[in-house]
Amino acid sequence: MNLQKSQQAFEEAKRYIPGGVDSPVRAFNSVGGTPPFIERGQGAYLFDIDGNRYIDYVQSWGPLIFGHCDKDIEEAIIDRVKKGVSFGAPTELETQLAKEIVSLFDSVDKIRFVNSGTEAVMSALRLARGYTAKDDIVKFAGCYHGHSDSLLVSAGSGAATFGTPSSPGVPADLTKHTLIAKYNDIESVKRCFKDSKNIAAVIIEPIAGNMGLVPADKEFLEELRKLCDENNTLLIFDEVMSGFRASLKGAQGIVDIKPDLVTFGKVIGGGMPVGAFGGKEEIMKWLSPEGPVYQAGTLSGNPVAMAAGIATINKLKTNPAIYVELSKKAKRLMEGFQAAADAEEIPFVTEVRGSMFGFFFSDKVVKNFDDALENDQKRFARFHKEMLKRGIYLACSPFETGFISTAISDDMIEETILAAYEVMREIA
Ligand code: HOZ
């Protein structure tokens, strides 16, 4: 595979942008080699500037559930762009998208749009603290909720990839309010409640997608709900990744547990920058201008992002059966990878939730961050590199998640599995 132009582009980018990227994981540091610089996407494929074609299992880290350049979403975006790209004033589009999401999520009476998952979570936490008049929060090791100060503690995703799950520049005065519990371990949460009577919220990815794909057990989430109720603490589900990905109703649609607040991103913008947080009326009315908790943004509810989101959610709502199809493909892909690993006696485990998939080079079922850290990262890096050479674009870290889009055909899945057989043989 020729990556000459990408190599040049990367060197050039490094002169002007730290590490050459605007989000660390994209630099491929954990898998080595040059990240292909992307020229365009079409359907299931990515094309880089050297002319290489890849089957894309990243799909912009989740948003592109209908693949690249889906005609309906593309038309909705182009149509809106012609009418003006930003007003900093209300449009009916915001209400339209809000209505769609509220109608699907029982836990959401009202919602506010922002520009990213980081912003959504940061704002939801401020609201939770304002509403409860408490300061502490509980987060789980390995969960990633964006890079705001309070949450960059024991964080997954890029932070875990680079072995810096906390960051310089985050004052200890702030992080002392963040208590860390162990995913899928209710006793660790009970200990937090014992240590602090000042817990405003427990925040969790109900399907963790940032330490690899690690779903929370239903019983664990039920216990969590109970503990929060007993302690007048809000339960926040971070569904930035799982919202509209795991099912039409996100992780909540699978486990049937209602959080007090939910954060969204990715799919609700159809690939445009977006985030949102929502919840019960009683809590949401604390938000400015209705209430005293301040939160704002010029590009919030941006019309182009709203139009893309509406087109995406409409397509999903009119065809909910696609989740069955996507999940079937994800399962087939993971069964294929598993069989390829088994054939070479390589320790390997997989997970699937809706259109999300994950795998670890490990011999134990991964239930939490400690388990995830035990995966063979060197072998992952070799696997990733060899798959890329064969035109298969997978997330470039074992602490991320893979995504199936409707554009990915059964034949592409089989092609990917064949490549996995070859690669497993090579890395055995
Ligand atoms: N680490 C982010 C997903 N969990 C992706 C960041 C990026 O777009 O590079």
CA distance 316 to 65: 9
Q: What is the model's pLDDT at position 183?
A: 98
Give every residue of the chain whose pLDDT is below 50, as ranges: none
Q: What is the model's pLDDT at position 174?
A: 84
Which atom of ligand 1 approaches the CA of 61 most closely?
Answer: 3
**Where along the chain do its domains lie?**
4-69+321-427, 71-318
CA distance 164 to 182: 18
How many angstroms does the Cα of residue 423 sit away from the middle of ligand 1?
A: 25
Q: Does 2 sit in the ligand 1 pocket, CB within 6 Å? A: no
Q: Nearest residue CA, atom 7 of ligand 1?
A: 23
Q: Does 158 sit in the ligand 1 pocket, CB within 6 Å? A: yes
Which of 369, 267, 259 shows the shortest CA–CA distance to 316? 267
> Which residue bears the tokens 């995406």?
312
What class has domain 71-318?
alpha beta
Q: What is the model's pLDDT at position 164?
A: 58
Active-site residue identified among 48, 136, 238, 376: 238
Q: What is the model's pLDDT at position 425?
A: 98
Whether the domain at 4-69+321-427 and the domain at 71-318 fall into the same CATH topology: no
Annotation says 56 is catalytic? no
Active-site residue identified among 144, 183, 323, 393: 144
Q: What is the model's pLDDT at position 163?
A: 54
Using an 8 Å Cβ cutoff, are 141 and 205 in contact? no
How many angstroms does the Cα of residue 198 sit away from the middle of ligand 1?
A: 32
Q: What is the model's pLDDT at position 231?
A: 98
Which atom of ligand 1 approaches the CA of 158 most closely?
Answer: 1
Q: What is the model's pLDDT at position 168?
A: 82
Q: What does the H/E/C string look like for 136-160? A: EEEEECCCCCCCCHHHCCCCCHHHH
Amino acid at 402: G
Contacts of 12 (CB under 8 A, 6+ apart): none
Q: What is the pLDDT of residues 65-99, one digit of tens each?
A: 999 999 999 999 999 999 999 999 999 999 999 99
Q: Where in 256-355 does DSSP place strands (E)? A: 261-265, 275-279, 349-353
CA distance 38 to 35: 9
How many angstroms does the Cα of residue 187 sit away from the middle of ligand 1?
A: 31
Q: Nearest residue CA, atom 8 of ligand 1?
A: 23
Annotation says 238 is catalytic? yes
Q: What is the model's pLDDT at position 159?
A: 66
Supply the CATH classification number for the domain 4-69+321-427: 3.90.1150.10
Which atom of ligand 1 approaches the CA of 210 most closely?
Answer: 4
Q: Nearest residue CA, atom 6 of ligand 1?
A: 23
Q: What is the model's pLDDT at position 158?
A: 66
Annotation says 229 is catalytic? no
Indicate the top mutation candidate among 17, 21, 25 to test ligand 1's pocket, ranked by most ligand atoms within 8 A of CB: 25
Q: Does 61 sit in the ligand 1 pocket, CB within 6 Å? A: yes
Q: Does 26 sit in the ligand 1 pocket, CB within 6 Å? A: yes
Q: Which residues of 113-128 are buried (b: 16+ CB within 10 A; e: fewer)?
A: bbbbbbbbbbbbbbbb
Which atom of ligand 1 approaches the CA of 241 most closely?
Answer: 4
